Structure 1
Amino acid sequence: MNSLNKMENSVRVSLKNLGVSYLDLYLMHWPESSAFGDSTDPPTKSGSEYRQFLNRFKTTWKAMEGLVELGLVRAIGVSHFNIEQIKELLSEFL
């Protein structure tokens, strides 16, 4: 199951539980999950761990865009991203 399918299933459950047909706003709360242990800090800016880190939140963002295209979400955004992470998203998707 790809990222959009997983996210779509999760959002559809939330919509059903909330009794609504769409969400006004859907945020990626952190730029990373617990893939690097308990730390919320990204890996250093070099090497394969950092590239994997960037790819994960870019993949998540792309899936979130899919939710907008499906009409399940009206707007998407990020929270707790530093300026470099925001620039990285902008460079990829704008």
Structure 2
Amino acid sequence: MSRRCELSGKAVMTGNNVSHANNKTRRRFLPNLNDVTLASDTLGRSFKFKIAASTLRSVDHRGGLDAYLAKAKDDVLSDAALKVKREIAKQATAA
């Protein structure tokens, strides 16, 4: 399983540990990923995603999963999130 947020695409970054003597060793900055269950108002179902804590705040700020996915770009979404986005769009046009 890759360490990548399914909704925002946030992934592992690399950098250096820098000691007091200015020695540099490589390190990894991991995203703060959490397993969450988000509910879709349009579909009336819940979906499980592995997302970053910062993305969870963004989902709440935009007004829920449906609103977040409507504004999200397709290239950063995972396959599962893209499938949910298409289902929501399909349901919204049918109603």
Q: Which has the larger strand fraction?
A: 2
Shorter-chain TM-score above 0.5: no
Q: RCO (CA 8 Å, sep 6+): is it higher in 1 or 2?
A: 1
Q: Which has the larger helix fraction?
A: 1
Q: TM-score range by the shorter chain?
A: under 0.3
Taking structure 2 as the reference length, the TM-score comes to: 0.27
The structure with the larger Rg is 2
